[in-house]
Amino acid sequence: MRPVRFNINAKVASTKDAIGQAPPGFEGEGFFTTKMSEVVGLARKNSLWPLPFATSCCGIEFMATMASHYDLSRFGAERVGFSPRQCDLLMVMGTISKKMGPVLRQVYLQMAEPRWVMAVGACASSGGIFDTYSVLQGIDQVIPVDVYVPGCPPRPEAIIDGFMRIQDLVGEESIRRRNGDQYKALLNSYGIE
């Protein structure tokens, strides 16, 4: 019997991850002050509107994630939009081939700031099992990616975990990030002005 190393101590439920936690601030009678970025982040992360860019098998697991068993709308992502102008989070699910690359880039360019990108599945992260002439080896060849969710296909719990990582990123983002030099340099490295 191999000795078990993980998950052997009971986990204590902590309220640190709870959505209803107020950000650190100064409180008084009838008022509460905190940083602007905290409030904005809190509002944004609990009402992300995803754009499911589902191309293949991972799209079916996304459908299972949106369905009632693994409900993604618990996290505020009830309203999936298919118009990039209206969405915050681009979830790329499935293999992106070289023919599809320009289409993906066009969709990304149409999104308004602030925008986040999640690569779901092995094919979107790195080409997956398809190391062939026609498959783009990872969507980070064409657009900048924030969170990668590995798996082939990833279980709905993994997709939800990736979504929660995006929520962490959204909640802690500085307001000035999108105008800063580092972000501009990142976009320039992809050829996006």
Partner 1 sequence: MLLMEHNIKLPEGSIEKQTTTLNLGPTHPATHGVFQNILELDGERIVSAVQTVGYIHRAFEKLAERRPLYQITPITDRLNYCSSPINNMGWHMTCEKLLNVKTPKRVDYLRIIIMELARISDHLICNSIVGVDSGAYTGFLYVMQSREHIYEIYEEICGSRLTTNIGRIGGFERNFNATAFNKLEKFLKEYPKVLKEFGDLFLRNRIFMDRLQKTGGISAERALSYGFTGPNLRAAGVDYDVRVHSPYCSYEDFTFEIPVGNTGDNYDRFLVRDQEMWQSLSIIEQAYKKVQEFKGAEAEVFHAEVPEYYLPKKEDVYTKMEALIWHFKIIMGETAIPSGEVYHSVEGGNGELGFYFISDGGRTPYRLHFRRPSFIYYQAYEELVKDGMLSDAIITMSSLNLIAGELDA
Partner 2 sequence: MAISNSLIQENLLEKFGENVSNFQDTYEMLSFESSKEINLKVLQFLYEEDSLGFRFLTDLTAVHYPNQIGRELAVVYHLHNLVENIRLRFKVFTSINEPNVFTASKLFESANWMERETYDFFGVNFVGHPNLIRVLNVDEMDYFPLRKEYPLEDQTRIDKDDEMFGRG
CA distance linking residue 75 with residue 11, whole number of Å = 23
The residue from 48, 54, 87, 89 that contacts partner 1 (CB under 8 A) is 54
Of 97 and 167, nearer to partner 2 (C-beta) is 97
Of 132 and 174, nearer to partner 1 (C-beta) is 132
Q: Quick one: what does residue 137 bind among partner 2, partner 1, none, with the CB cut-off 5 to 8 Å set by partner type?
A: partner 2
Q: How far is CA 185 from CA 35, 101, 116, 181, in A?
A: 27, 21, 16, 6
125 binds partner 1 (CB under 8 A): no
CA distance linking residue 144 with residue 136, whole number of Å = 14
Q: Quick one: what does residue 44 bind among partner 2, partner 1, none, with the CB cut-off 5 to 8 Å set by partner type?
A: none
The candidate with the shortest Cα–Cα distance to 61, out of 153, 163, 124, is 153
Contact region with partner 2 (CB under 8 A), list: 27-35, 65-73, 130-138, 158-166: 130-138
| Secondary structure letter of residue 133 according to DSSP | T
Q: Quick one: what does residue 19 bind among partner 1, partner 2, none, with the CB cut-off 5 to 8 Å set by partner type?
A: none
The residue from 19, 22, 43, 63 that contacts partner 1 (CB under 8 A) is 63
103 binds partner 2 (CB under 8 A): no
Exposure b/e, 142-166, CB count within 10 A at least 16 = b: bbbbbbbbebebbebebbbebbeeb
Measured at the CA of 50, the angle between CA 47 and CA 51, to 5 degrees, comes to: 155
Q: Quick one: what does residue 147 bind among partner 1, partner 2, none, with the CB cut-off 5 to 8 Å set by partner type?
A: none
Contact region with partner 2 (CB under 8 A), list: 13-21, 53-61, 75-83, 127-135: 127-135
191 binds partner 2 (CB under 8 A): no
Give the other-Cβ count within 10 Å of 60's Cβ: 13
Q: How far is CA 90 from CA 1, 26, 38, 87, 145, in A?
A: 45, 35, 23, 7, 9
User: Binding residues for partner 1, per CB under 8 A?
Assistant: 52-57, 59-64, 67-69, 82, 94-95, 97, 99-100, 103, 107, 129-130, 132-135, 152-153, 155
